[in-house]
């Protein structure tokens, strides 16, 4: 399975994970280890960056894990830029998962504010990974603005509804010049495998792992599904057809003439 | 436009008849749907839904787990004052209740803050009575400025204010405001609030609109259970919520279910809600609205709270003191109401962990408020 790069960092694992909704920090740690994920997102609002004993950060202090703070909670581009700067200072990383969802009910990302913030943060030297709706035009605009990847949703955050946006994800992947990470809504390993089969570079999974009865086992299931999906993509899937292909073609006689 | 225009198109008696007229077929239809409307909510809180309680509880548990995970947010109230100019028939702070009045000064606030920090709290709810001369907007603003640097998140439960007052307080670090209508029964509301500014039903009813227009991050709604028929009052809470979510879509909402508790000089609840009915109500709100925060205070018993964590509740207070200075300054002063669950925050934390839940002490950051206030 090929590795891939975001900005100048290479990733072997294409499974990105989150830190929310686990029963406890120890279980979170065990699930993240089992996932072999190299990029783990953490909400700035949930951690106390100044506390060396912070229950979440303490468990993420692992050589393999690259920390991706997110701006969850902000409602505007200006708030996001401020939060990103604080995260950079507190967590010593210029990587930021840009989440601007002024709608607290469905947590739908605001495309206009996200574009504005990406432009600003890219200028400030951030590696920006914006969480967005599966909007192909927005993805191209974000590329122009200097984004390092795009993170379109499969379905609403935490819904476990799978790839409801698959038609648009395919267009995004087809047109992309930056990595495409399917984020939000992935509920089953088969959803993740499907995302990889259509050519996504990675998937971010949190709820489906964290709230399962056995998060460690589920993390392994996702790891395997993502590997399987990627391998299938690299091996090139046979195209589906609606009619049978005769093993003795009707025009074969032409070759014998 | 305000909620009043919608509210005025309903009558209490018609709503009541409609709720009590729901059948098991209505309940089953509501349970089978994926998105429920206000009519479905009526069915879920109706007597006809009682036989479906276990099914509702399982559904509520699953929906809550999916949206909130295995987590429970903890907070504590910080009572700043028990001075009050209102007469409320059910409240220990009522003007006609002859208790010693107390408003914390700067030094006393500091002592309470330190005590709460030592208990581990990061989310704190500031509470006062309604006395504009002593605990008006100036006092609240000063207190917010003083308390804000010490906690990740500040909420407030005080008298309803004008929109410009909220606009003044939000940049000082006010994250959320709780304002309960007490009862949506307009005529009986007057009987329960015969004197003081609080007797203005419409001003209170339109408070969430003023908060929404002021751009508050979160607001808490609810009815005081025990004043009137809880089913009808809860319907109006849901109706109010439904309206507010559409109007002020950037604001987050929470619901509480305060049941009348004994207090000094107290009123017996007119309508008693038994535990089974409270479970039905909690589950009904969750099935109706999967994203809403549901909060349970220490008014409820240990046993009830131990089980409620799996019924749909997402936020709990712990170790609460309902008297000004109750944590450190004057632990023996008179409380607003008697709490029922008096376990320490540490004990609550252990109970949550034993039940497979992560106690969340921090789910906001002062930095995010700073970002907002600097814009």
Identify the structural domains of chain B with CATH numbers, from first to last.
54-225+252-268+291-374 (3.20.20.70)
The per-residue pLDDT for A164 is 94
Distances (CA, A) of A85 to A1, A43, B58, B73, B370: 35, 14, 43, 27, 12
Number of neighbours of residue B95 by Cβ within 10 angstroms: 18
Cβ neighbours of A20 in B, within 8 Å: 69, 71
Comparing C-alpha atoms, which of B218, B216, B255 is closest to residue B237?
B255
| Residues 295-324, chain B, touching A (beta carbon < 8 A) | none
Question: Which ipTM was obtained for this model?
Answer: 0.71
Q: Is A45 a catalytic residue?
A: no
Pairing of strands B176-178, B218-222: parallel
B241 and chain A in contact, CB less than 8 A: no
pLDDT under 70 in chain B at which residues?
Answer: 261-268, 332-338, 370-375
Cβ neighbours of A104 in B, within 8 Å: 218, 250-252, 291
B357 and chain A in contact, CB less than 8 A: yes
The per-residue pLDDT for B270 is 75
Catalytic residue from among A29, A97, A194, A223: A97
Per-residue pLDDT tens digits of chain A, which is 257 residues long: 788 999 989 999 999 998 888 888 889 889 999 999 999 998 888 888 777 778 788 777 777 888 899 998 899 999 999 999 988 988 889 999 999 998 888 889 999 999 999 999 999 999 999 999 999 999 999 999 999 999 999 999 888 899 999 999 999 998 899 999 999 989 999 999 999 999 999 999 999 999 999 999 999 999 999 999 999 999 988 777 766 666 776 767 777 77
The per-residue pLDDT for B335 is 65
- Compare all CA atoms of chain A with the CA of B363 and give the residue at the minimum distance: A46
B242 and chain A in contact, CB less than 8 A: no
Contacts of A19 (CB under 8 A, 6+ apart): A28, A32, A40, A41, A42, A43, A46, A56, A60, A206
The per-residue pLDDT for B57 is 95
Residue B371 to residue A47, Cβ atoms within 8 A: no
Distances (CA, A) of B320 to B4, B54, B79, B304: 34, 30, 10, 16
The per-residue pLDDT for B272 is 81
A185 is in an annotated binding site: yes
- Residue B31, both tokens: 């349970």
Residue B368 to residue A20, Cβ atoms within 8 A: no
Distances (CA, A) of B27 to A83, B30, B233, B312: 45, 5, 19, 19
Phi, psi of B335, deg, nearest 5: -90, 160
Does residue A180 sit in helix, strand or coil?
strand
Question: Which of B68, B152, B372 is closest, CB to CB, to A79?
Answer: B372
B252 and chain A in contact, CB less than 8 A: yes
Residue B367 to residue A74, Cβ atoms within 8 A: no
Cβ proximity of A70 and A44 under 8 Å: yes
Most A CBs within 10 Å, among B371, B372, B373, to test the A interface = B371
């Amino acid at each position: 399975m090929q590795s891939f790069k975001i900005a100048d960092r290479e990733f072997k694992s294409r499974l990105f994970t989150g830190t929310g909704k686990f029963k406890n920090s120890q279980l979170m740690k065990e699930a993240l280890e089992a996932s072999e994920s190299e990029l783990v997102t953490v909400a700035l609002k949930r951690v106390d960056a100044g506390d060396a004993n912070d229950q979440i950060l303490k468990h993420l202090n692992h050589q393999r894990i690259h920390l991706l703070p997110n701006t969850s909670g902000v409602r505007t581009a200006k708030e996001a830029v401020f939060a990103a700067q604080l995260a950079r200072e507190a967590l010593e990383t210029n990587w930021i998962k840009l989440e601007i969802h002024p709608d607290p009910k469905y947590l739908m990302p605001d495309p206009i504010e996200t574009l504005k913030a990406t432009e600003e943060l890219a200028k400030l030297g951030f590696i920006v990974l914006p969480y967005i709706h599966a909007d192909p035009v927005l993805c191209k605009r974000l590329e122009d603005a200097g984004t390092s990847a795009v993170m379109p949703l499969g379905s609403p955050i935490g819904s476990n509804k799978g790839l409801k946006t698959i038609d648009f994800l395919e267009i995004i992947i087809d047109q992309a010049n930056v990595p495409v990470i399917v984020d939000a809504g992935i509920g089953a390993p088969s959803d993740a495998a499907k995302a990889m089969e259509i050519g996504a570079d990675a998937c971010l999974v949190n709820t489906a792992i964290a709230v399962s009865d056995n998060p460690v086992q589920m993390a392994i299931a996702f790891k395997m599904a993502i590997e399987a999906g990627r391998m299938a993509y690299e091996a090139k899937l046979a195209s589906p057809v609606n009619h049978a292909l005769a093993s003795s073609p009707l025009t074969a006689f032409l070759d014998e003439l | 436009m305000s909620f009043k225009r919608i509210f005025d198109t309903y009558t209490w008696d018609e709503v009541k008849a409609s709720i009590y007229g729901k059948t098991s077929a209505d309940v089953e239809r509501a349970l089978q749907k994926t998105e429920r409307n206000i009519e479905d909510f009526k069915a879920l809180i109706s007597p006809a839904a009682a036989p479906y309680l276990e099914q509702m509880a399982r559904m509520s548990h699953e929906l809550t787990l999916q949206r909130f995970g295995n987590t429970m947010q903890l907070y504590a109230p910080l009572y700043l004052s028990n001075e009050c100019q209102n007469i409320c028939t059910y409240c220990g702070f009522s003007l006609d209740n002859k208790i010693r009045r107390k408003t914390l000064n700067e030094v006393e606030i500091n002592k309470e803050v330190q005590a709460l920090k030592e208990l581990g709290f990061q989310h704190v709810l500031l509470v006062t009575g309604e006395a504009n001369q002593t605990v008006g907007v100036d006092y609240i603003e000063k207190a917010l400025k003083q308390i804000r640097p010490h906690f990740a998140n500040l909420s407030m439960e005080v008298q309803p204010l004008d929109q410009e007052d909220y606009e003044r307080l939000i940049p000082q670090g006010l994250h959320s405001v709780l304002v309960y209508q007490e009862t949506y029964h307009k005529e009986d509301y007057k009987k329960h609030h015969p004197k003081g500014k609080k007797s203005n039903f419409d001003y209170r009813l339109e408070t969430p609109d003023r908060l929404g227009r002021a751009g508050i991050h979160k607001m808490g709604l609810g009815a005081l259970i025990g004043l009137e028929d809880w089913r009808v009052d809860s319907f109006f809470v849901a109706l109010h919520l439904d309206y507010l979510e559409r109007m002020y879509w950037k604001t987050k909402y929470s619901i509480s279910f305060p049941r009348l508790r004994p207090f000094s000089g107290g009123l017996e609840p007119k309508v008693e809600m038994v535990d089974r009915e409270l479970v039905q109500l909690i589950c009904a709100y969750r099935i109706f609205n999967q994203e809403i925060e549901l909060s349970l205070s220490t008014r409820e018993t240990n046993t009830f709270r131990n089980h409620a964590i799996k019924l749909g509740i997402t936020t709990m207070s712990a170790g609460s003191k309902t008297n000004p200075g109750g944590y450190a300054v004057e632990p023996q002063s008179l409380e607003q109401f008697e709490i029922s669950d008096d376990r320490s925050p540490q004990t609550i934390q252990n109970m949550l962990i034993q039940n497979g839940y992560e106690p969340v002490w921090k789910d906001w950051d002062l930095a995010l408020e700073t970002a907002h206030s600097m814009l």
